[in-house]
Each structure stands twice: as C-alpha cells, then as structure tokens.
Amino acid sequence: MANIDRNSVIDARNYISKLFAIHTKGDELAFFLASQIMVAHEANPNNWNLNFNLNGKFIRFNVGQEYCIQIYEHEILVLCLKDELPKDCKQSHTDFFFRGYTKGSNAINTANFNEAPQCLAKVPNSIGLVFNKNIVDWISAISESNTGFIKYAINHTHILPQMIGAHSVGAVKYLSEVTGIFLQNPSFAFKSITENENRTIKRLKNVSDTKLNELAKNHNSQPRKTGTSISIYIRSPYVIEQAKRIANGLCQDCGNTAPFLTKGTNEPFLEVHHVVPLSQGGEDTIENVVALCPNCHRKRHYG
C-alpha cells in the first residue's frame, strides 16, 4: 500500500501519470484538469483544493466544499450543471452514465438523463457524468457545463478545514510540468505544505535508518519552489528526520539538550536549519542542514 507525500512531485508523477494513462493516451485529461483549476483560482484563490489520495488511488479536484472532478482507475466523475449540458450529452451513451442522489439514498446511476436526480444539494441543478471510457471525446462538450458548476460552487460553498490539509502541491506541480501551464496553488498552500510535511515526518518515525538514508539520498536535492501569491520552498521530510536523528536530542550549535519535548511525539524539540539558505541556492541535503534549539536557530538568522 502506498504512502504518498502530497508535497512530492515525484510521488505525483509516479501515481497520477498511471491514473491518467488508464483513461487517455495523451495529455488531454491533464490539460482539462489544469484548465478547470485555473477557472477556480481566478474565481477564488482561497476556496479550492486538489486532493491526491494518500494511497495513490484517486485525485479529486474540489471547489468550495464540493467535489468537482474525481479520477479513479475505474471511472472519472465530472460534475456539471444540467441546463448547461449540450443536447448530445443528455442522450444515452455507452461512454458514460449519469449519477445523482435522493435524500437518504445511495448513488443512483442511470443511462437516462431525465431519471437522474440532482447530484449535490448545495449546487442546484447539478448532475454527475461518470465516464468509463473515451472521456477525451467529450471534454470539449462538457467543459462549459463543468465551468458553470465550478463558478457556482466556489461562490456559494466554503472549503472545509480538513480539505486544506489534503491539498497536494506535488500534484499541482506535476500538472504544471505535463501541460506547460504555470498553475498557482491556493492561498492557503503554506499551511497545507506544513501539515503534509508533518504527516510524512510522523510516518518516517517507523522507518529504519537504512531506509531513511536511501530516501534522503534519492530525493531531489534541488529544493522545489511552488507558487501562490508568494513563492514557497518545499523541504524534504527525509532530510529533516535524518538531521534530527543525527543530532539525537542535542543542539548542534550549543551542544545543550533540546529545551522541551514535542507535544504528541514526546521527542526532543529541535529545528532544522539550512546552512546555505534554499533561497540562495543551497541544496536540500543532510550536508547543508543542522538541527538547532530555538535560541541557536534565531542566532543563525538574526545574531
């Protein structure tokens, strides 16, 4: 079972490329998703997210509180507005079927457009199109209706706190690489990066020193920079954990024991500092970091 680092473009490339390849031979699906992300970001840069499942099973684009595009191995779900679907998309087809819900029921799947109930209560007139094949043939036909769904949902619903922590800057970076389109992250990206970094580091506590050394050596030592309204550098969680293990609870400047234990993990609290700052071309490697107590860390920056 995979354990995804949502900040990692390498993980995104490894898993999302396989999801896309099941459904398309080219990059059409990546372009469709990227273009719809741009629509959402322009409408409200703080009210969407791209959820890359921690087990690599799916990628989900959310606008406000609502899911909008979901890509699984077995299907792709695209949310649209009924009234904005072209006439041909309302006919029965073998490439897709319709999905909706009634109160208290499971999903209702039907090939008959007129039999499909509304899909999401908070987006009136919404309907789900579930593609099992040939989505590329329909992208141009459904794009306008999906755009209508995005604009309504992003202006009438609000993203949930847990969705912020599920955002994947690695997936956004991967889409930018594939399409050549510079995609910005939501305004809350720094918070999501930190939460995902902490989640990955917590998982690494159970990894052996040998495996950790391997992971740290194999990651990209050139720090990845991602875009929101400001630039953010994404650090390697493997190097962070490795530096703390080497320090073994002692500040690598003053030599004193860490001043307190970290809540939750009960481990000595030390901060990992890049000797040559990432913003000045420093590498994200164990040779360029030290684990410091908070006082020594501040001295490095301001002393």
Model confidence over 283-295: pLDDT tens digits?
Answer: 989 999 999 998 8
Q: CA gyration radius for the chain?
A: 22
The secondary structure of 92-157 as a DSSP string is --SSEEEEE--TT---EEES-GGGPPPS-TTSTTEEEEEESS-GGGTHHHHHHHHHHHHHHHHHH-
132 pLDDT exceeds 60?
A: yes
* Confidence (pTM): 0.71
The residue type of 93 is H
126 pLDDT exceeds 90?
A: yes
pLDDT at 231: 58
Q: Is 56 left (phi over 0), alpha (psi -120 to 50) or beta?
A: left
Nearest Cα residue to 6 out of 180, 229, 237 = 237
What average pLDDT does the chain have?
89
228 pLDDT exceeds 60?
A: no
Sign for the CA dihedral angle at 101, 104, 106, 112 comes to: negative
Model confidence over 8-63: pLDDT tens digits?
Answer: 899 999 999 999 999 998 899 999 999 999 999 999 999 999 999 999 999 999 99
Tell me the three state secondary structure of residue 205. coil
Q: What angle do CA 293, 297, 299 make, to 5 degrees?
A: 120
66: which strand partners?
Answer: 63
